[in-house]
Structure 1
Amino acid sequence: MSTPQQIRPAVTHDVDRTDPAYRDWLKEAVRKVQADANRSADTHLLRFPLPDAWGIDLYLKDESTHPTGSLKHRLARSLFLYGLCNGWVRPGRPVIEASSGSTAVSEAYFAKLIGVPFIAVMPRTTSAEKCRLIEFHGGRCHFVDDPRTMYEESARLAAETGGHYMDQFTYAERATDWRGNNNIAESVFRQLELERHPEPAWIIATAGTGGTSATIARYVHYMQYDTRICVADPDNSCFFEGWTTGSAEATCDSGSRIEGIGRPRMEPSFVPGAIDRMMKVPDAASVAAVRALERAIGRKAGGSTGTGLWSALRIVAEMVADGRRGSVVTLLCDPGDRYLDKYYSDTWLAEQGLDVGPYMTVIDTLLRTGQWQE
């Protein structure tokens, strides 16, 4: 497996960057991407109902309302601006991305917006709905059987086509301005200003690239808040092991069943030192949590939302046990209609050997009694 250092963008000389036609194209491409942000409203902060007597508020930042339906819309916008301003994204040349789906959907949207081809390199197990959405936005799906080979295959395609490998797993943490500029962290704190607990005790993120958790954690430290950051990691992912052991070489042999999060290697965009806590979440618990979410607020969400929500509910239970009041925030990453054949399918759960029943009982017991009995 290639190390991240082996797949940096190559220096290209196929474009004369002093050519007025290229500069006009670049300015117009940047304008189009920035205009997309300018005409987009902020995403909602939804409340998950908890007993009033607890004095605890649980919120989900609903990133499913972006134009491309997921948290990755913010990332894709930042990556395109970063690539354009670095001279990596060029007219007529394809953009290639290694992705489990949602980032590719959003990047296909921005590629179409500025008029460049897009190729998504994805595991063959990626949900059919995500593949449909990538193609709807004009992208092409390129499948690999082993998720661990996505990086090398993306780099190979970029070299073969003269395109640019966007490499979200390296650049996610640096393409976004973590000090503000309407990033997700700044948005959360602004929306909480009139709540009874405006500074959350905890924010829980899930990690695919690690870029979101890095942005939130850095912003919290920069603004000198007391908020703690927890990252929830699913089965078949190495982030938890890498964080707990301090090893940047941690790996995992299997791909994550929770699409969008969990990685087989410690990605360059994952910043362990910025994070206060990590929590390992069984896949069956992630699915139980999204089903509990639908029952509580009438919204279906993807499995990564369940991974974060399970961890958030566990932290809520700890606060109840300690008699602490406050607020907790997690993310609604993308809509559940992309996963009707997976996390909402009893047939798929049976095929995967996942029993959500015991985890549903844990959630029901918590909401009824305030006790966590796992």
Structure 2
Amino acid sequence: MAVGTHVDRVCTETRGWVSEAVRKVNADANRSADTHLLVYPLPPEWGIDLYLKDESTHPTGSLKHRLARSLFLYGLCNGWIREGTTVIEASSGSTAVSEAYFARMLGLPFIAVMSKRTSPDKIKLIEFYGGTCHLVDDPSTVYDVSRRLAAETGGHYMDQFTYAERATDWRGNNNIAESVFEQMAMERHPVPTWIVVGAGTGGTSATIGRYVHYQCHDTLLAVVDPENSAFFEGWTRDDPGFTVSAASRVEGIGRPRVEPSFVPEVVERMFKVPDAASIAAMRYLHRLTGNKAGGSTGTNLWGALQLVAEMRATGRTGSVVTLLCDGGERYAHSYYSDEWLADQGLDIAPFTATLEHLHATGEWRDS
């Protein structure tokens, strides 16, 4: 190449489009007030307070709105997403809903690769935001199918399960952990004894665990995992390659493999939660508070209430925080349907009895 010759890889028009796209995505966060921290009713004399951070109030109705925003910014700033790029994601539903929202905002085609068992209400939401749903029989194939579609379209596979833990700034910058601690500042136990989250991508637990260490808080992190999900066994066996073949019935957090974004070292405790317990807790929350949430919230709540019972049994006071991940309206035909429960062979009555016994006596009774 002759002296003085140069090649511009990115034209001015492309750079301008990316800058405008970043502005639009950031503006979405600026328009949205922070999500609420709801008080779960426990007897005040217990000296233990339980809170649910209500992520259903995001514009796309779930915790995954934060992740989708971070993933789009990460892709844009890395030069992976440009004008006209087809965006592809492997998802169990809620992340795809949120990514479809941001793709439409930027005028980009979006394809969600999901299991055929995904809630039909979530599929309708993805299509409402202009996305296309590519449904597969085997949930374990969503990764390879997403890579193939990205290659065929010349698009970008977002790969939330790899990039969730690095797309969010865990040191702060309005992440969910920073928000929780700011909102807890005026409570009687401002530094939570426990924070309880589902595994899912692994991004939320990684963000919260890292933030707690960075801020030198004494808070402990518990992760809950439903049936037919790989995280619990992978964590207890110290086996990041652990997989399961059956599909999870709890959308959003149950995964067939230990996802690359999961950081086991920041987790102090894990619970394996039966699916019937998740649904019992989800429905009990609605009965007690009027808040209608999804199955992953039930999984969170079951683990959180076990910790409350342990604290009470040992005479400890303090606070526990968990997440209300998304609204229950997405699950009218599944978790809130008695017919669906019967078809799945799920009996929630013994688990509901455990929750009722806890609230009546302060003691945990195994179902």
Scaled by the length of structure 2, what TM-score is found? 0.97
Give matches, 1:1-374, under 5 Å: 17-374=9-366
User: Alignment RMSD, CA only?
Assistant: 0.6
Judge conservation of contact 1:148–1:264 (CA < 8 Å) in 2.
Answer: yes
Shift in Å, 1:119: 0.3
Is there any run of 5+ residues in structure 1 with no aligned partner, and where? Answer: 1-15
Name the amino acid aligned to 2:82: R
Q: Distance in 1 between matches of 2:22 and 2:56?
A: 24
- Listed one character per residue, the Cα deviations across residues 154-179 of structure 1 (whole Å, up to 9, x for unaligned) are 00000000000000000000000000
Shift in Å, 1:18: 2.5
Q: Distance in 2 between matches of 1:274 and 1:262?
A: 19
Q: Distance in 2 between matches of 1:189 and 1:341?
A: 36
Report the secondary structure of 2:123's partner residue: helix
Identity %: 70
- Listed one character per residue, the Cα deviations across residues 90-142 of structure 1 (whole Å, up to 9, x for unaligned) are 21120000000000000000001111100000000111110010011110000
Q: Distance in 2 between matches of 1:259 and 1:326?
A: 30
Shift in Å, 1:191: 0.2
Shift in Å, 1:249: 1.2
- Listed one character per residue, the Cα deviations across residues 249-288 of structure 1 (whole Å, up to 9, x for unaligned) are 1100111100111111111000101111100000000000
Q: Distance in 1 between matches of 2:248 and 2:13?
A: 44
Instruction: Tell me which residue corresponds to 1:9.
Output: none
Is there any run of 5+ residues in structure 2 with no aligned partner, and where? Answer: 1-7
Report the secondary structure of 1:292's partner residue: helix
Q: Distance in 2 between matches of 1:147 and 1:91?
A: 30
Name the amino acid aligned to 1:117: P
Instruction: Tell me which residue corresponds to 1:12.
Output: none
Shift in Å, 1:17: 4.2
Judge conservation of contact 1:287–1:356 (CA < 8 Å) in 2.
Answer: yes
Shift in Å, 1:341: 0.7
Q: Distance in 2 between matches of 1:115 and 1:170?
A: 25
Report the secondary structure of 1:205's partner residue: strand
- Listed one character per residue, the Cα deviations across residues 62-109 of structure 1 (whole Å, up to 9, x for unaligned) are 000000000000000000000000011121120000000000000000
Q: Distance in 2 between matches of 1:99 and 1:17?
A: 32
Shift in Å, 1:185: 0.3
Q: Distance in 2 between matches of 1:291 and 1:267?
A: 29
Name the amino acid aligned to 2:216: Q
Judge conservation of contact 1:286–1:305 (CA < 8 Å) in 2.
Answer: yes
Name the amino acid aligned to 2:228: N
Q: Distance in 2 between matches of 1:343 and 1:352?
A: 10
Misfit runs of 4+, over 4 Å: none
Judge conservation of contact 1:122–1:144 (CA < 8 Å) in 2.
Answer: yes
Judge conservation of contact 1:17–1:23 (CA < 8 Å) in 2.
Answer: no
Q: Distance in 1 between matches of 2:317 and 2:249?
A: 34
Report the secondary structure of 1:179's partner residue: coil
Q: Distance in 2 between matches of 1:59 and 1:17?
A: 50
Name the amino acid aligned to 1:30: V
Q: Distance in 1 between matches of 2:211 and 2:156?
A: 29
Report the secondary structure of 1:80's partner residue: helix
Shift in Å, 1:321: 0.3
Name the amino acid aligned to 1:316: V
Q: Distance in 2 between matches of 1:188 and 1:76?
A: 19
Scaled by the length of structure 1, what TM-score is found? 0.95
Instruction: Tell me which residue corresponds to 1:5.
Output: none
Report the secondary structure of 1:334's partner residue: coil
Name the amino acid aligned to 1:229: L
Q: Distance in 2 between matches of 1:262 and 1:250?
A: 13
Q: Distance in 2 between matches of 1:123 and 1:35?
A: 32
Name the amino acid aligned to 1:247: D
Report the secondary structure of 1:68's partner residue: coil
Q: Distance in 1 between matches of 2:309 and 2:67?
A: 32
Q: Distance in 1 between matches of 2:79 and 2:110?
A: 17
Q: Distance in 2 between matches of 1:271 and 1:182?
A: 21
Report the secondary structure of 1:196's partner residue: coil
Judge conservation of contact 1:233–1:239 (CA < 8 Å) in 2.
Answer: yes
More deviation in 223-232 or 291-300?
291-300
